Structures are given as structure tokens and as C-alpha cells.
Amino acid sequence: MSTNSTDPMKKISVAILGGSGYAGGELIRLLLNHPNVSLEAVTSRAYKGKFVYSAHPNLRGRTRLQFIDPHELSKYDLLFVALPNGVSMNTMSDLMKKASKIIDLGADFRLNSAQAFTDWYHMPHTAPKLMKEFIYGVIELHRSEIAKSNYVACGGCEATVSILSLYPLIKHSLIETKIIIDAKMSSSQAGLVPTLSSHHPERSGVVRSYMPTGHRHTAEIITEMTPYTSEPLDVAISATSLDMVRGILVTIHTTPRTGVSEKDIWRAYREEYENEPFIRIVKERSGLYRYPEPKILAGTNFCDIGFEMDTRSKRLVVIGAIDNLVKGTAGQAMQDMNCMFGFEETTGLEFLGLHPI
Ligand SMILES: NC(=O)c1ccc[n+]([C@@H]2O[C@H](COP(=O)([O-])OP(=O)(O)OC[C@H]3O[C@@H](n4cnc5c(N)ncnc54)[C@H](OP(=O)(O)O)[C@@H]3O)[C@@H](O)[C@H]2O)c1
């Protein structure tokens, strides 16, 4: 998908605040292969002075960059912010002086009201006036706004795959408004800092129901889907941790509106996504990979979406899968960057994944 025409040799200066984490590491991997990016600085307080490969061993031999302290950041064309939730809002007004454009991978600027942030994240928002400056980073819904914006807040990984799975169905008024999302989550979603629940004896082999109700990403899904319906949405998420390092699978239970056929569902997905480079409808009659599966998406920017109608129980079951660290955060951020700077939107995101893996 092409965006504005731009000088193919143009290079922008880029820095990452929070580069030793899992989202930051994935961003470094992607940015190092981008022909229009000069990655100039990556921060970590814990790894300050150490080579980037000391935190991200997959990058050994690819860069001689060393981590710097966040205070050593100077000025860049673009700053990626990959800090834990609730941190970037405290310094965002200062960060805005360090870069013409900012893409925040965290949750602080995803919602459009401070009250909603407090309700779901259980802390006050310290920069409520800046919330409106940010465009939500799910590009399939916000491409033209992102292209004109200086500030983007990437969607949460679980929200991103759910929104992409639901958007055509809600926009085309094909489903009732009660939506139940069963989300299977991987361990890298929790970030770098170990906890008891990530300790190997506790995590290995789990099928742990860790958030049957009250998942924070419910707020993003409702906020993003509400403009496409005149009825209030009733969205519920149940999240289960599985024994996998990367990937999310959502199985979404919905009720099709009376008279809606499988053809209508196909038509809605085709209409919204036929030109989307990273969305694939996966629904085969036979074979092993008949529906989306996160395993084969590892390292890719794809969001695979499938569905099945159950006429007996009057359900439409929608299945979505992504790599949480790519389409769910760093790849989404780079796709947004491409759009903001007028680069070809797929640049640096062409990896097709591995099979078998
Ligand atoms: N992991 C995922 O699958 C995923 C998916 C979607 C979105 N995200 C979002 O991406 C963001 C980062 O997630 P992550 O999983 O990469 O977290 P992480 O692995 O814990 O990494 C956090 C990074 O921030 C730095 N940091 C922490 N506190 C800081 C502070 N007070 N000041 C400056 N730097 C600080 C850390 O380095 P030092 O402490 O060494 O400075 C580290 O580089 C989060 O907001 C998360 O919501 C993550």
C-alpha cells in the first residue's frame, strides 16, 4: 500500500525510550532493517553503557549501538516510547520537545478520557490535556489521521486483534452488541521483569485463567467500536495464560443479527480489508491450518482472522491471531511510522514467518 510519495533515500533519525524491554527489542530488530531509518539512540537504565545485543542476543553482530540513560536523549525526528504503563504520561510534555513525532507503545494515551484511564488502570492520569493529541495506532481504522498526526498511541495487543476481528462486523451491523472475547495469552505480554507467575515452575505447562473478567483492553475495544454503532456495546473479555512465549489467539463469541448469512460476513471482511497488506482471512475447508494460529505468525506483522457460523446455537464465532510483539506493538508502531513519514507502508515488515516452527 503506498502512502505519500517521498524521497526513497530519505533517512529519519529515530530513538527508542525503553529499548531493553521486549517491545523495545522487537522495535530495534525491525528498525535496523528499515532503509529509511537511522537508529541513533536506545535507552535503558539497567543496561546503560552496554551493547544492545547484551539485552537482545538475536541482534549480535548487527549493531554496535550501546544503551544510554533516558536523560541523555537529544533531538530526533521520531521517538518511540516503550515504557511500562503509567510511566510515559509523567514526562510526555518534556518528551514532546525531543522529537517532532512520537509513537507511544504503552497504554497512557490510548483512551480519550482521563476518567476512563483511571477506571481501568486504577491510577490518576497526570497529563489529561495531552490525551487528545494522540491518534489510536490501529492503522486499518485511522490511516488518514495517522498520516497527518505527530502523536500516535499504539493499541494494546489484545485490543488490536479483537478490534481488527470485530470492526467489519460492527461497521456493517452484522452482529448483536453482546460480545464475549476468550483470549489466549503468551508470556512475553507481561514484559521483561520477572514475577512469581513467570517463574518457570509456575508458568511452564499452564492453562491459567488469570483474568476471567475486567480486562483493561475492554475500554479500548468499546472506545474504538462505539463510533460504528448506535447501540451501547456490551464487551466482556476472559483471558487465559498459555505456555507460549509469543502470540495471542482470540475466540470471539457473537450473535449474528437475524437474516445475516455467511456471504454477508465474507462481503464485510472483503470490503474492509481487501487492500490491507497485513490482514488475511483464514478459513479453509480442510488441512491443519484451517483457522488463524499464532504459532505461524511469530515475527510477522500479520493479523489472521477466521470465522464460523453455528446455525444451531445462532452464534458467529470469530477467531483472530497476531504476534503480540509485532502487529500487537512494534510492527504496528513501524507501520504507523511508515504512514506518518510517507514511506511505503509495508517497508521493513515483509517477513513471512517460519514453517515449521
Ligand atoms: N510485551 C507485549 O507483548 C506488549 C504488547 C503491546 C504493547 N506493549 C506495551 O509496550 C510497553 C513496553 O512493554 P514491554 O513488554 O516491552 O515492557 P518491559 O519488557 O518491561 O520493558 C520496559 C522498558 O522500559 C524501561 N523502563 C522501565 N521503567 C522506566 C522508567 N521509569 N523510565 C525509563 N525507562 C523505564 C525498561 O528499561 P530500564 O528499566 O532498564 O530503563 C525497559 O527498557 C508497555 O507499555 C506495554 O503496554 C507490550
Q: Which residues contact 201 (CB under 8 A, 6 or more apart)?
A: none
Ligand 1, from 45, 186, 303: best to mutate by most atoms within 8 Å of Cβ?
A: 45
Q: Kindly list the protein residues whose Cβ atom lies closer than 6 A to any atom of ligand 1.
A: 18-24, 44-47, 70, 82-85, 87, 105-107, 156-157, 188-189, 191-193, 324-325, 328-329
DSSP letters along 259-286, please?
Answer: T--HHHHHHHHHHHHTT-TTEEE---SS
Q: Give the model's confidence band at 10: pLDDT under 50 very low, under 70 low, under 90 confident, else very high.
A: confident
Instruction: Identify the residue whose C-alpha is closest to ligand 1 atom 27.
Output: 83
Q: For residue 209, what pLDDT is reported?
A: 96
Going by their DSSP bridges, the two strands 315-322 and 303-310 should be labelled as antiparallel
* Alpha carbon of 102 to ligand 1 centroid (Å): 16
Cell of 42: 536506545
Q: For residue 3, what pLDDT is reported?
A: 46
Instruction: Identify the residue whose C-alpha is closest to ligand 1 atom 31.
Output: 87
* Alpha carbon of 152 to ligand 1 centroid (Å): 17
Instruction: Identify the residue whose C-alpha is closest to ligand 1 atom 21.
Output: 21
* Alpha carbon of 189 to ligand 1 centroid (Å): 10
Per-residue pLDDT reduced to its tens digit, 238-286: 999 999 999 999 999 999 999 999 999 999 999 999 999 999 999 999 9
Ligand 1, from 102, 105, 163: best to mutate by most atoms within 8 Å of Cβ?
A: 105
* Alpha carbon of 195 to ligand 1 centroid (Å): 15
339 is a catalytic site residue: no
Ligand 1, from 22, 56, 73: best to mutate by most atoms within 8 Å of Cβ?
A: 22
Q: Give the model's confidence band at 2: pLDDT under 50 very low, under 70 low, under 90 confident, else very high.
A: very low
Chain center to CA of 336:
11
SS3 332: helix
As separate numbers, helices (DSSP H) first and strands (DSSP E) second, the chain gives 10, 13
Question: Domains of the chain by range and CATH?
Answer: 12-155+327-341 (3.40.50.720), 158-324 (3.30.360.10)
Per-residue pLDDT reduced to its tens digit, 13-67: 999 999 999 999 999 999 999 999 999 999 999 999 999 999 999 999 999 999 9
C-alpha span between 124 and 269 (Å, rounded): 38
Q: What is the DSSP letter of 42?
A: E
Strands (E), the chain: 12-17, 37-42, 76-81, 99-104, 135-136, 151-153, 178-185, 207-211, 234-242, 248-254, 279-281, 303-310, 315-322
Distances (CA, A) of 38 to 31, 47, 75: 8, 21, 13
Of the residues 154, 157, 303, 339, only one is catalytic, namely 157
Whether the CB-CB separation of 310 and 284 falls below 8 Å is answered with: no
Q: For residue 9, what pLDDT is reported?
A: 77
Instruction: Identify the residue whose C-alpha is closest to ligand 1 atom 25.
Output: 18
Reported pTM: 0.97
- Counting from 1 in the atom list of ligand 1, the atom nearest the Cα of 154 is 7
Over residues 190-197, the mean pLDDT reads 93
